[in-house]
Amino acid sequence: MTHPPYLSPGYRSTVLRAPSLPPVEMKADPEAAELTSPVFGPTEIGPLDADLTAGRPGEPIGERIIVTGRIVDSGGRPVPGTLVEIWQANAAGRYAHQLDRHPAPLDPNFSGAGRCLTDDEGRYRFVTIKPGAYPWRNHHNAWRPAHIHFSVFGTAFTERLVTQMYFPGDPLFPYDPIFCSVPGQEARDRLVAAFDLDVTEPEWALGYRFDVVLGHTPMEDR
Amino acid sequence: MTTPSQTVGPFFGFALPYADDWALVPEGHPGAVLITGRVLDGAGEPVPDAVLELWTGETGTRGALARGGPGASGFGRCATEPDGSYRFRAAPPAGPYYSLTVFARGLLRQVLTRIYLEDRPDPLLDSLPPGRRATLIARPDDAGAHRFDVRLQGEGETVFLAF
Ligand SMILES: [Fe+2]
């Protein structure tokens, strides 16, 4: 088991949105459109898109961090040139989103969204600010552990992955039904970045490593 | 080991959408297909915070992110409106169907389906009972668009696929 079950009642929004029928298992078909994937060109991405601390008049408030890692397929092969998009709350736990009502300050110097293409060895690298935890209304006193949302393409539409990266040692893990929807501690640990002193840059930013392994299909390992 | 999926959550709206993300082809593109529909939950209520992605099966010559210029892109993205509606303007698919994924708050993984523009002999369609088969076939509407609703759960639940 890798992915969470669609129906995870602890996360209330799944109750009316989880499909009730199992997905139809597709027969092997090398012609299937789902086995190909869009290609994104380097000219479609801006040079500052991977630096979430740039592009504003001032520096955002918070703990500057570097988040880097490799995107590999299920065979361990790097996925070059694939699109990685991230979004997150600011250091105070507030999203730059009009529906976020958390009474924490917005930061005029932080949008919280970035993107890049992986290099020839499947590596991506973002400079950002460590996000804060934030409350949500799923249950009484519900708080999301600090996380960065990730969206990754891969080489087939079936590999498409949206996930969340967490930070090591977060005390909110056992209380978070989204994190805990992943079956088993070993699989949950794959969503937790590792602090890495080699990625850390002296006098400037802490470094975290988060590798992503794409599966063949969003619905494998049910 | 595969990285587990997590929900896209409610706050992707300032990050994932981009200019003309829904328009795989420019206005007036010859043979353009307009696809519209709604995403509905198990109570039949609209899902106002889903984001859909359409893949035609071939990359094409137009940018997938940076639109502009003529030609067709194979990839599009559309966040749903408050009434659960979405739209795409695309070239006809490379094969008999478009591939469509839906992400949403409350979906811990995306769902993957197909849009067929017409009923036709097809290994997948032919393997389904009639009621379920119909969930994969777009219907022409009065405005010349192809109507395709996604029902995540319950009566008329869309057929979702596992590879
Ligand atoms: Fe979040």
Q: Give the amino acid at B37.
A: G
Determine the distance separating the centroid of ligand 1 and the alpha carbon of B40, expressed in angstroms: 23
> Under an 8 A CB cutoff, do B108 and A5 touch?
yes
Nearest to B63 among A13, A44, A74 (CB): A44
Q: What is the pLDDT of residues B81-126, one digit of tens each?
A: 999 999 999 999 999 999 999 999 999 999 999 999 999 999 999 9
For residue A187, give the H/E element and its range. helix A185-189
Set of chain A residues whose Cβ sits within 8 Å of the Cβ of B124: 24, 26
- pTM across the whole model: 0.97
Determine the distance separating the centroid of ligand 1 and the alpha carbon of B7, expressed in angstroms: 9
pLDDT in the model for residue B143 = 87
Q: What is the pLDDT of residues A181-190, one digit of tens each?
A: 999 999 999 9
Nearest to B160 among A19, A111, A182 (CB): A19
The answer to whether residue B99 neighbours chain A at the CB level (below 8 Å) is yes
Question: Between residues 53 and 92 of chain A, which touch chain B (CB distance below 8 Å)?
Answer: 74, 83, 85-87, 89
Q: Rounded distance, CA A164 to CA A179, Å?
A: 9
Write the ipTM. Answer: 0.97
> Under an 8 A CB cutoff, do B6 and A212 touch?
no
Q: Give the amino acid at A117.
A: L
Q: What is the DSSP string of A193-206?
A: -EE-TTT-BTTTBE
Q: What is the DSSP string of A22-55?
A: PPEEPPP-TT-GGGS-----GGGS-TTTTBTT-S
Nearest CA in chain B to A114: B15
pLDDT per residue, tens digit, chain A (222 aa), is 799 999 999 999 999 999 999 999 998 888 999 999 999 999 999 989 999 999 999 999 999 999 999 999 988 899 999 999 999 999 999 999 989 999 999 999 999 999 999 999 999 999 999 999 999 999 999 999 999 999 999 999 999 999 999 999 999 999 999 999 999 999 999 999 999 999 999 999 999 999 999 986 444 443
For residue A189, give the H/E element and its range. helix A185-189
> Under an 8 A CB cutoff, do B162 and A25 touch?
yes
Q: What is the pLDDT of residues A94-137, one digit of tens each?
A: 999 989 999 999 999 999 999 999 999 999 999 999 999 999 99
Catalytic residues of A: 95, 134, 144, 147, 149
For residue A188, give the H/E element and its range. helix A185-189
Determine the distance separating the centroid of ligand 1 and the alpha carbon of A147, expressed in angstroms: 6
